[in-house]
Structure 1
Amino acid sequence: MTDRPRKQPGPDHPITVTPTGERVVVVVAGRVVADTDNALSLREATYPAVPYVPLADVDRTLLERTGTRTYCPYKGEASYYSIPLGGERSVDAVWEYPAPYDAVAQIKDHVAFYPDRVDSITIG
């Protein structure tokens, strides 16, 4: 892990984390998996903003940790959860950075959801 590149956000690859300022609700198979007024929006370079929901506002009984891991040189190592009630579509639907790099430290104890692996992510 120490041989992985570690990069700082900057003008060529900006990353900002700000309060979303709106309610975020995530639904899978008719069940509310997450409901919060405290989400953070992570904007990275030219990618669309991603809402990060506090784990405290997620129904963790609906999540199942998987062995999947990925690495981002700007954010750190991500781990994943599936949402079994969503079936195959919801495998590895949720990710978190348990020990995010300093530039995105605010997303610690937050998770994000792949929009195509849940029924809906409503913001507003």
Structure 2
Amino acid sequence: MGKIQPGPGQESVWDYPRPPSIDLSTEQVVVTLGGQVIAETSRSWRVLETSHPPTYYLPRSAFAEGSLRSAEGTSYCEWKGVASYLDLIGGEKVAMGKAWWYPDPAPPYAALLDHVALYPGAVDLCTVDGERVAPQPGSFYGGWVTSRVVGPFKGSPGTNFW
């Protein structure tokens, strides 16, 4: 693994902490599914964890009415607590279980209450300040790859034990 040196205005995911930190973002985030904008905000939280591109958590109020519904399942994060899943709905499309939130986040992550994260690869388009987001490699992680961050990123083949 060779750490990529960040250029001007870039961040290396290898400089992010563990346990993860949260960073208030004023970047313009837009999410489109089924040809409809289902979320838009200029106030979100980025969760920053070593080896991972940021995961954006958008306020529930940023989502269009009817674009979120409860889904089956939970998962556990050793830092943030128990996550509940949501379906994303836009136009005629449903991305089943492709969003999550923390109904009772651990105290260091209390700011994430009433905020929703999603897999950018499960929707038509996610943009950050107009730039198209690429999903973090692998099927488990929800990181958002933009030109602002450099890796390598956990999730690619051979990175399971980083």
TM-score normalised by the chain length of structure 1: 0.83
Deviation at 1:41, TM superposition (A): 0.7
Counterpart selection for 1:20 from 14, 21, 25: 25
Matches of residues 62-73 of structure 1 in structure 2 within 5 Å? 62-73=67-78
1:106 alignment partner, SS class: helix
Contact 2:72 2:97 in 1 (8 A): no
Hey, what's the Cα distance between the residues in 1 that align with 2:43 and 2:72? 28
Hey, what's the Cα distance between the residues in 1 that align with 2:111 and 2:17? 21
Contact 2:17 2:48 in 1 (8 A): no
Contact 2:75 2:83 in 1 (8 A): yes
Confirm or deny that 1:121 pairs with 2:148: no
Deviations 1:78-109 (A, max 9, x none): 0111124424xx11111101111012111111
Counterpart selection for 2:88 from 76, 80, 83: 83
Q: Residue 100 of structure 1 aligns with which residue?
A: 105
Whose Rg is larger? Answer: 2
Cα 1:95–1:60 change in 2 (3 A) is farther
Q: Percent identity?
A: 31
Deviations 1:23-58 (A, max 9, x none): 111110111111001111111222110111001111
The code of the aligned residue for 1:94 comes to: A
Hey, what's the Cα distance between the residues in 2 that align with 1:30 and 1:14? 37
Segments of structure 2 that go 5 or more residues without pairing to the other structure are 1-15, 130-162
Q: Residue 153 of structure 2 aligns with which residue?
A: none
After the TM superposition, which parts of structure 1 deviate over 3 Å for at least 4 consecutive aligned residues? none
Cα 1:60–1:70 change in 2 (3 A) is farther
Matches of residues 39-54 of structure 1 in structure 2 within 5 Å? 39-54=44-59
Segments of structure 1 that go 5 or more residues without pairing to the other structure are 1-10
Cα 1:56–1:12 change in 2 (3 A) is closer
Aligned length: 112
Q: Residue 111 of structure 1 aligns with which residue?
A: 116
RMSD: 1.7
The code of the aligned residue for 2:93 comes to: G
